[in-house]
Structure 1
Amino acid sequence: MKSDPVDLLQPLWRALVAFRVIAFGFACFGVWTRWDGIVRPSGAALQLAVMGVWTVVSSIGYSRRWGRRNTRLAFADLVITVGCMYATLLAQPLLDIRAGASVLTSVWAAGPVLALAISRGRDGGLLGAVIVSLALLSLRGVDHVPKILGNVQLLLVAGLVVGYAASTMRQAGARLREAIATESATAERLRLSRSIHDGVLQVLAQVQRRGTAIGGEALELAELAAEQEVALRTLMSSRPTVGEGGSVDLCGLLLPLATTRVDVVVPAASVLLPAATAAELVAAVNEALSNVDKHAGPDARSWVVVEDLGDEVVVSIRDDGIGTTPARLEQARVDGHLGVSESIRGRIADLGGTVMVRTAPGEGTEWELKVAT
């Protein structure tokens, strides 16, 4: 079986293969011990031959990636196993089976129940258990329900327990893969950060200092060097944005907004939100920063701060620009300038959140966006 370090279901598949082989051995032993009581021995031999061939085929399939990832093999296993159960009629008349003769598949019939439980989880295991139980009931007859009830219960419990275990292990495997990917990305980022810090960032810092000191045309070069330094530092501090269950890290989405005039301050831990909620928050922050560029003055700086309060997330956008008055903001909405009313207030309102704005002439503007987690 090909090794896969993050496939935690491999031990279950190996156990299934071992069970298939051992159960086939038990079925053969059962036929051998009851050989003299079988009405048509040739039918029993044919049934065992089919079971043996399918045991080999299914075992090979469950030992390969295509057999484990494709549930068609498990469903084919179910169909063929039920067929082999009815093939007992080739060896024993139905009346003899209902009179107490054994179904020759014996415990081998539980194989597809386990296979479906591993591949499809609890629901798959229960489905397989119900179908195999109905096939057994149809062969035994209604009069034998008390006698086969124990077998049915074992099949149902096996399908439920193994299915639940497989689902849990599958979720754990997904988290493990995410953790490995994050660790690898972090290690690579640290390696690149050391290289960049030792070379590129030092050069950019030197260009910025010298250009500022020289002035004139060199000042523009210093500004470009400062912008690139901030961009590189932001890249070095970036982190994965995808979280568990389709959620995303809001901090990872906001960090790239940092520039020489915009500082982004986020918690060390991830702030996970639904992807749609995070996207709307980032769009609202972008609109607020755009308003700073347009109206706060050429030298205005901005600060974006993220706070995780547990049941809600607060994003503050503050600038040290020329500011305005609430009346002018309302007049802008009336005049049809929808940046504030729609792109900021409207987005947050659609998320069920709240928006507060504090501003005054000469004191800059501060937006506070709150949404529930």
Structure 2
Amino acid sequence: MAARGIGTLGGMNAARHDAGRDRGDSADLLLPLWRALVVFRVITYGFAVFGVWTRWDGIRNPAGAVIQLAVMGVWTVIASIGYSRHWGRRNTRLAVADLIVTIGCMYLTLLAQPLVDIRGGASVLTSVWAAGPVLALAISRGRDGGLLGATAVSLALLSLRGFDNVSKVLSNVQLLLVAGLVVGYAATTMRRANARLREAIATESATAERLRLGRSIHDGVLQVLAQVQRRGTAIGGEAVELAALAAEQEVALRNLMASRPISGDRGRIDLCMLLLPLATPRVDVVVPAEQVLLPTATATELVAAVKEALSNVDKHAGPEARCWVVVEDLGGEVLLSVRDDGSGTTPDQLLRAGSDGHLGVSQSIRGRITDLGGSVTVRTAPGEGTEWEMKVTTA
């Protein structure tokens, strides 16, 4: 019974996996191209058969032509099944195998016609069927794959026709190259659109779930935390510490509810979503409504510099000091300011702190921004707080 139960559970998991894979395939914008390739393979095989039938009397060895058509037919079935399944589309192995088999079938024409006849003008019996792997590689690997397939098939055709007869096959070579380029560019564009569609769907789902959780949190947890904060402050004594903790958690939950997707595009990330979790009852984080996308390394270093600035506020600005972290998107640059209303200091004292071995300012802040090719400005005075301005490019 246990074994059967485990087997049943495994079957259910496999079924779920297959169902998820099928849903992913149905959302794949490249799927129509793969289906068109299967139709192309079948139709062009029919053209090859018809071409052999119309030229039957001119073929030196008809048995060789039959063998060639049989091999082409078997491979057409295999390739069509593969391109109709997920395993045949997920990598280039089948497309590469298709290229190798197709070139082999082109050379099988030698079973039906001597090389002298082919170079004298006899047809290569694969005909337009030989363009199949060019399209498959273009769909699978984009422009480069299409050019690779077109070049390989063209070289095979030229080796059969003879390089002295380039002018006779030039139109076929041109068609192969154009087909590889056009389909490759189309496949690349559709693949990018497919990635963006998946990201948009994931973002929409995450936003809907966040709103649902936000309503639940607002109706329950946030109200309880607000009540604890008010009652703790009113009671005083040790309850004040509990009220402060409740206030911190309320801010953290509100930031979580207001969060948006953190991921960006092509190795870039939203700086705002890295900074929002730094908000506390004493620290306000103000960001633009739109994402501020930066290279991941740049955004990480900026956040580290901000954390060091906030650490300095905790250590030197005073227990009652408040702090503001503000992000401004200036187009090609990002201006990040960290300002507090604490006790402040003097520029000379900042310089002496670095020379005395306190490296938070010189290395953790200035050093990071300088390494990013940015600039740092600090304004401070006794009793007037401190403001850091860090500016970096968005490239």
Give the TM-score band, short-chain normalised: over 0.9
Contact 1:312 1:371 in 2 (8 A): yes
Displacement after TM superposition at 1:197 (Å):
0.5
Q: Distance in 2 between matches of 1:123 and 1:219?
A: 67
Q: Which runs of 5+ in 2 are unaligned?
A: 1-20
Q: Which runs of 5+ in 1 are unaligned?
A: none
Q: Which residue, 105, 117, 130 being the options, matches 1:96?
A: 117
**1:364 aligned partner:** 385
**2:150 aligned partner:** 129
Displacement after TM superposition at 1:142 (Å):
2.7
TM-score normalised by the chain length of structure 1: 0.98
Q: Does 1:222 align with 2:248?
A: no
Q: Which residue, 290, 314, 337 being the options, matches 1:293?
A: 314
**1:238 aligned partner:** 259
Q: Distance in 1 between matches of 2:266 and 2:238?
A: 52
Q: Does 1:276 align with 2:297?
A: yes
| 1:285 alignment partner AA | V
* Range with bigger deviation, 176-185 or 281-290: 176-185
Q: Which residue, 170, 173, 176 being the options, matches 1:155?
A: 176
Q: Distance in 2 between matches of 1:231 and 1:30?
A: 73
Q: Distance in 1 between matches of 2:58 and 2:307?
A: 83
Q: Distance in 2 between matches of 1:366 and 1:152?
A: 66
Q: Secondary structure at the match of 2:254?
A: helix
Q: Secondary structure at the match of 1:78?
A: helix
- Is the alpha carbon distance of 1:134 and 1:39 closer, same or farther for their aligned partners in structure 2, counting shifts above 3 Å? same
**1:141 aligned partner:** 162
Which residues of 2 match residues 71-82 of structure 1 at below 5 A? 71-82=92-103
Q: Distance in 1 between matches of 2:75 and 2:297?
A: 48
Q: Secondary structure at the match of 2:392?
A: strand
| 2:231 alignment partner AA | R
Q: Alpha-carbon deviations, 1:301-336, whole Å to 9, x = none?
A: 111000000010000101111110101001101101
Displacement after TM superposition at 1:258 (Å):
0.6
Q: Secondary structure at the match of 2:266?
A: helix
Q: Distance in 2 between matches of 1:182 and 1:362?
A: 45
- Is the alpha carbon distance of 1:195 and 1:53 closer, same or farther for their aligned partners in structure 2, counting shifts above 3 Å? same
Displacement after TM superposition at 1:2 (Å):
4.2
Q: Secondary structure at the match of 1:244?
A: coil
| 2:80 alignment partner AA | S
Which residues of 2 match residues 13-24 of structure 1 at below 5 A? 13-24=34-45
Q: Secondary structure at the match of 2:326?
A: strand
Contact 1:320 1:365 in 2 (8 A): yes
**1:27 aligned partner:** 48
**2:331 aligned partner:** 310
Displacement after TM superposition at 1:174 (Å):
1.1
**2:16 aligned partner:** none
**1:206 aligned partner:** 227
| 2:359 alignment partner AA | L
| 1:139 alignment partner AA | L
* Range with bigger deviation, 30-39 or 265-274: 30-39
Displacement after TM superposition at 1:143 (Å):
3.5
**2:9 aligned partner:** none
Q: Which runs of 4+ in 1 moved over 3 A?
A: none
| 2:72 alignment partner AA | M
Displacement after TM superposition at 1:65 (Å):
1.3
Q: Distance in 1 between matches of 2:383 and 2:22?
A: 68
* Range with bigger deviation, 205-214 or 245-254: 205-214
**1:48 aligned partner:** 69
Q: Alpha-carbon deviations, 1:353-373, whole Å to 9, x = none?
A: 000011111111110000011
Q: Distance in 1 between matches of 2:86 and 2:273?
A: 35
Q: Distance in 2 between matches of 1:255 and 1:222?
A: 22
TM-score normalised by the chain length of structure 2: 0.93
Displacement after TM superposition at 1:339 (Å):
0.2
| 2:124 alignment partner AA | V
Q: Which residue, 181, 187, 193 being the options, matches 1:172?
A: 193
Contact 1:2 1:64 in 2 (8 A): no
Q: Alpha-carbon deviations, 1:330-349, whole Å to 9, x = none?
A: 11011010000000000000
CA RMSD across the alignment: 1.1
**2:365 aligned partner:** 344
Contact 1:97 1:139 in 2 (8 A): yes
Q: Does 1:258 align with 2:279?
A: yes
| 1:232 alignment partner AA | L
Q: Does 1:106 align with 2:127?
A: yes
| 1:193 alignment partner AA | G
Displacement after TM superposition at 1:226 (Å):
0.6
Residue identity over aligned pairs, in percent, reads: 81
Q: How many residue pairs get matched? A: 373
Q: Distance in 1 between matches of 2:177 and 2:327?
A: 50
Q: Distance in 2 between matches of 1:103 and 1:300?
A: 84
| 2:71 alignment partner AA | V
**1:61 aligned partner:** 82
**1:334 aligned partner:** 355
Contact 1:271 1:308 in 2 (8 A): yes
Q: Does 1:319 align with 2:331?
A: no
Displacement after TM superposition at 1:144 (Å):
2.5
* Range with bigger deviation, 139-148 or 47-56: 139-148
| 1:366 alignment partner AA | E
Q: Secondary structure at the match of 2:391?
A: strand
Q: Which residue, 58, 61, 73 being the options, matches 1:37?
A: 58
